Structure formats: C-alpha cells, structure tokens
Amino acid sequence: MNGIMLQGTSSDVGKSFIATLFCRLLVQDGIKTVPFKSQNMSNNSYVTADGLEIGKVQGVQAETAKDDELTVQQKPPLDWVKIREIIGLPL
C-alpha cells in the first residue's frame, strides 16, 4: 500500500482522530506508518526528540504509530500569519 488520504469538508470533523486510529491499526498489523498532515493551522506544538516543534496532533499520531524517527522534515507548512518558524525554530 502506498498511502491513505483522509479528507473532511470542514474543521473539527474527526480527520485527525481517524488518522490516529488508522496509524494504530496498521502498526498492530505490522505495517510501518508515518503520519503527515499537509497543513497545520494550530499553534499547539509537540516537541520532538531533537527539541524542535511540529503540530501536536502529528506528534501524537507518530507516538501511536511508534515512529521513533519523527523529525521536523515531516512537518507541514505552518500558518505564517500566526506562527513564523523555520524548521521548528522561531525567526
């Protein structure tokens, strides 16, 4: 399987919850998963092992998927109006 895309027509419809569920189910079946969110509008952050920041939901999904290699390179573009960061570091 190359990938699964989850889509919703508005905010707060459960996309992240379903993605987290998929990560857990696939890992339980022995399939390596790497969560990716194409856009992060939240300023809630998760601190990676190297001390940089990604979206909180993506961090939780990575923990659920047992992704020990989570890096800011997997991080989506931020809402630059709210947060100005480059690779997890404030400008």
* 30 within domain boundaries: yes
Helix intervals (H) in the chain: 15-28, 56-64
pLDDT confidence tier of residue 80, bands split at 50, 70 and 90: very low
* 46 within domain boundaries: yes
pLDDT digits (tens, 9 = 90+) for 1-11: 677 888 888 88
* 65 within domain boundaries: yes
pLDDT digits (tens, 9 = 90+) for 13-36: 888 888 889 888 988 998 888 777
Please indicate, yes or no, whether the overall pTM of this predicted structure exceeds 0.95. no
* 10 within domain boundaries: no
* 44 within domain boundaries: yes
Count of domains observed in the chain: 1
If you average pLDDT over residues 33-62, what whole number do you get? 76
* 5 within domain boundaries: no
| β-bridge mates for residue 40, sequence order | 78
- Which domain covers residue 50, as residue numbers? 15-85
